[in-house]
Structure 1
Amino acid sequence: MEGKRTVCVTGASGYIGSWLVMRLLERRYHVRATVRDPAYTHTNNTDLVFLNSVLKLLPSTSGNEKKVKHLSELPNANTHLTLWKADLAEESSYDDAFHGCEGVFHMASPMELLVHDQATVYIRPLLSKKTFLRINIKFDQLQKYLAEKTVAEKAAWKYAEENGIDMVTVHPSLVFGHFITPYTGYSIDIAISLYTKDKATMASLICLNGTSVVHVDDVCNAHIYLFEHPLAKGRYICSTHTLNIFDIAHSLSLKYPNRDIQTEFESLDKSPKIIPCSSKKLMDIGFEFAHGTKSTGDLCAETIESCREKGLL
């Protein structure tokens, strides 16, 4: 089966999804990567097939080229990668991409917000039109994301049990580290906030002081490890580091002395209360973290360097 296994990755153009596609291609998996619009013109890569369901697309000038170019240029993409158009908001749009796959890595997770008033919001995960979560607080972007993930997972477990699907879930903490996307996202912006001095993302970083962090590479390797492990079952937390803003700031101030990194934060405890986030179950099944010995500052520095390499800073 080696070199012939076919899997699908949803949300493949995103931060974690694209890194997972890269690692799967390195292992010679045949990857069907779903994105909202796979249309892409690449005259030097005629072997890469782009699909709209099962129909080949003609070269497009839709403006979405940058969103998928980082996937088409990955090693082994010519022979082992196809892009498929799918959208969680469209009923059955994933059916063709999933058909014939040995497994699915579900990374896509948009949400629909139904605002009742300033204090009450209903969240509907797009994988279930009948499941709602009522939130009786006014919350920020991160809380919306966490709430949506919780509702979506509950709906997925229910569907898996009712339909005999072998499902395993991986629960990473805040994800930092290198990336291949041509743009940044929430966790990337958090990781680089002390370097950029952006007030909004620095405020988020301060709020997250004491929470947990993990390297994107460990997250993706954990997904593949559990997919290949015959005894993997249930839910797995994937986390290695504690976010201490003082430690991160000190590390980055030494690495980037010309940036005048802020190292003092009023009213913050230098030894914050740690929020438990144990990866014991994942390690007990034999998984080894490749980046666990690095500091959280190292993870932030890697993220910063990726931004610099891409001209995003």
Structure 2
Amino acid sequence: MEEKRTVCVTGASGYIGSWLVKTLLERGYHVRATVRDPGNEKKVKTLLELPKASTHLSLWKADLAEENSYDEAIQGCKGVFHVATPMELVHQGQDGEEEMESTTLNGILSIMRSCSKANTVKRFVYTSSTGTITVQAQPPLHEYTEDLWTDVDLCYELKMYGWMYLVAKTTAEKAAWKYAEENGINMVTIHPSIVLGHFITPHTSFSTDVATAFYTKNEANMALLKKLNGSNAVHLDDVCNAHIFLFEHPLAKGRYICSSHTVNLFEIAHSLSLKYPDRNILTEFEDLDRSPKIIPCSSKKLMALGFEFAHKNKGVCDFCAETIEACKEMGML
């Protein structure tokens, strides 16, 4: 029975990966969590202290840049959740383009080859992004759907923030679908928008930087936040629940957008200013459209399968406040 409930989570010490490990443990799964350095106490301590960790969790050393490094962790697993991605390369200059694309692409193919060798994996769940969908020369009139693919050539032309990440994720996902088809891997991909909410990682991330920008008034993070006005967002809980839902559902097939909210910075700023009156939070932005045209990322396909968003009745401001409070609890703010 234990073997049927054994799964592997890559990037287990990351923002999404760690919460996914926590959620899987709560549901009784035996989790093999891969990290680059199991001996890094600062990064793995939180995982080892999770409920059921002593009986249901094991740490495995693996690296996206090293071929075959996932073989042992995946051997015997019924499911693999590939969450790991080299986010630290997002902030590099153009010189990091080749490294990011190579690590992302070679990493996922290496993991999929490990799945083929294991011959026990019933489903491979890959954490992609709405970023592999939403960069379009002519955006859709009403909503983004799973049928769309980001225009890689347009990314190279515009070189918008994080363009290398978008190119790498899109290229890697297309290669993964090709490998899955040719090698009989049962793969589904999940495409979260901006992920926010409470978390357990002992370090900051893209998500925490975005969510706490109003509170900290960090200029770099505020500049990043402004670029996200009019984009889409989802709660971390819902993202992890959707991962497990898609792993368990017998009819899950293909790509699934996971997004529940749209981002309006004016509304978020106003709500946070009321919640934290002592912080004198900025609420006006001369260079931003107060009512931007927002094209939602549609989760209709995911919901049609029966998935329900637990945090649909909250606002993005609530997600940000949860992140802020989590940061304060861990001494990050």
TM-score using structure 2 length:
0.81
Aligned to 1:136: 156
Residue equivalent to 2:131: none
Corresponding position of 2:142: none
Does structure 1 residue 152 correspond to structure 2 residue 172? yes
Return the letter of the residue paired with 1:107. Answer: V
Between Structure 1 and Structure 2, whose CA radius of gyration is higher?
1
Q: Which has the higher strand share?
A: 1
Structure 1 stretch displaced more, 194-203 or 137-146: 137-146
Q: Given the superposition, is the C-alpha separation of residues 273 and 199 from structure 1 closer, same or farther in structure 2, using an over 3 Å criterion?
A: same
Whichever residue aligns with residue 70 of structure 2, its letter is Y
Deviation at residue 202 of structure 1 after TM alignment: 0.7
- TM-superposed CA distance for 1:30, in Å, is 0.3
Residue 144 of structure 1: how far off its partner (Å):
2.1
The residue number in structure 2 matching 1:215 is 235
Superposition deviation, residue 103 in structure 1: 0.5
Where is the helix percentage greater, Structure 1 or Structure 2? Answer: 2
* Structure 1 partner of 2:102: 125
Q: Percent identity?
A: 68
Q: 1:3 to 1:252 in 2, by over 3 A?
A: farther
User: Any unmatched runs of 5+ in structure 2?
Assistant: 110-151
* Alignment pair present for 1:274 and 2:303: no
Task: Provide the C-alpha distance between the structure 1 equivalents of 2:249 and 2:167, rounded to a whole number of angstroms.
Answer: 29
Shift of 1:111: 7.7
Q: Within 2, Cα distance between the matches of 1:112 and 1:310?
A: 21
RMSD across aligned C-alpha pairs, in angstroms? 2.3
Q: Give the match for residue 50 of structure 1.
A: none
Are positions 1:74 and 2:50 aligned together?
yes
Q: Could you tell me how far 1:140 is from its partner in structure 2?
A: 5.8
Deviations along 1:150-196, whole A, 9 cap, x unmatched? 11111111111111000000000000000100011012101110000
Cα deviation for residue 125 of structure 1 reads 3.4
The one-letter code sitting in structure 2 at the alignment partner of 1:29 is Y
Q: Distance in 2 between matches of 1:161 and 1:189?
A: 37
Q: Secondary structure of 2:77's partner?
A: coil
3-state SS of 2:162 partner? helix
* Structure 1: tracts of 5 or more residues without a match: 40-63
How far apart in 1 are the matches of 2:96 and 2:68? 31
Q: Give the alignment of 1:19-30 within 5 angstroms.
A: 19-30=19-30
Encode CA deviations 1:112-169: one digit per residue, 9 max, x unaligned: 98xxx969954523254599x7763473652222222111111111111111000000
Counterpart in the other structure of 1:162: 182
Say whether the 8 Å CA contact 2:12–2:84 is kept in structure 1.
Answer: yes
Change (3 A) 1:281 1:207: same
Instruction: Assess if the C-alpha contact under 8 Å between 2:86 and 2:104 holds in 1.
Output: no
Q: Any idea what SS the aligned residue of 1:162 has?
A: helix
1:85: which partner in 2?
61
Q: Does the 8 A contact of 1:3 with 1:27 survive in 2?
A: no
Instruction: Look up the equivalent residue of 2:77 and give its one-letter code.
Output: C
The answer to whether the 8 Å contact 1:32/1:82 transfers is yes
Candidates 203, 213, 217, aligned match of 2:223: 203
Identify the match of residue 109 of structure 1 among 78, 81, 85. 85
Which residue is equivalent to 1:252? 272
Residue matched to 2:18: 18
- Give the 3 Å change call, closer, same or farther, for CA 268–111 of structure 1 in structure 2: closer
Measured in 1, the distance between the counterparts of 2:318 and 2:165 equals 26
- Return the letter of the residue paired with 1:78: S
Query: Residue 209 of structure 2: SS of its match in structure 1?
Result: helix
Secondary structure, in 3 states, of the residue corresponding to 1:224?
A: helix
Separation in 2, partners of 1:118, 1:169: 28
State the shift of 1:292 in Å.
0.9
Distance 1:87 1:118 in 2: 23
Cα distance in 2 for residues equivalent to 1:3 and 1:23: 18
**What residue number does 1:307 align with?**
327
Pick closer, same or farther for the CA change 1:2–1:94 going to 2, 3 Å: closer
Tell me: CA distance 1:254–1:111, structure 2 relative to 1, closer, same or farther (3 Å). Answer: closer
**How far apart, CA to CA, are the structure 2 residues paired with 1:200 and 1:111?**
17
